[in-house]
Amino acid sequence: MSSSNPIRLSRRGFAIGMAGLTLTAACGNGVGNSNAATIDARVDATLTEMYSRYPNTVEIAEKANGMLVMPLITEAGFVFGGGYGRGALRINGATVDYYSAVKGTAGLQVGAQQYAHVLFFMTQDALNDFRRSSGWTAGADIGYVVSDQGDSLSTNTTTLRSPVLAAVFGQAGLQIGATVDGTKYTRIIP
């Protein structure tokens, strides 16, 4: 091929390349080292960081029926992308189940990022729906108490009435706009 001809990338080649990029991102996420003790230690560290950086989350945690803590989500993408992470569901401070989070994205995006997030289940019905589901997907109806820009939002009575609240924090990387919308959570055995 001469240097004046552009390299053509087929759809299959692009898909394989994106799968490799997502797999590489997932490997950096500790996928191969995901026993229960490791996940629990990461969850503890994530909660400590969240409470110290965003004190408003302490009150929310005290009122929540349960919390899903995802210590590290790694996302990567170039037009199409994906993300992956593992975490734990805590009820009354104790881990009751472990979950994986998978996210697929499409649209104008380039780069990679890592962040943590915590879902607060503010009603027993929301927690029960999550636990009964074979693959619960976060929707646009989730209220955010820590924005994707790291700003702490107020926890007024309107916010606290939302059935599920989310805190997204600790972003590192080149993408912006980390959210939990469209993330699918599935129970796992670490």
**pLDDT (tens digit per residue) in 22-42:** 444 444 444 444 699 999 999
Do strands 136-137 and 66-91 pair parallel, antiparallel, or not at all (unpaired)?
unpaired
6 belongs to a structural domain: no
The model's pTM: 0.75
Domain interval for residue 144: 11-188
For the stretch 91-150, pLDDT in tens is: 999 999 999 999 887 666 667 888 899 999 999 999 999 999 888 888 777 888 875 444
CA distances to 76, 141, 161 from 116, rounded to whole Å, are 15, 19, 23
Q: With beta carbons less than 8 A apart as the criterion, state whether 65 and 123 touch.
A: yes
CA distances to 25, 48, 76, 82, 156 from 31, rounded to whole Å, are 10, 22, 15, 15, 37
20 belongs to a structural domain: yes
123 belongs to a structural domain: yes
3 belongs to a structural domain: no
2 belongs to a structural domain: no
Longest dimension (CA), the chain: 65
4 belongs to a structural domain: no
In three-state secondary structure terms, 122 is coil
108 belongs to a structural domain: yes
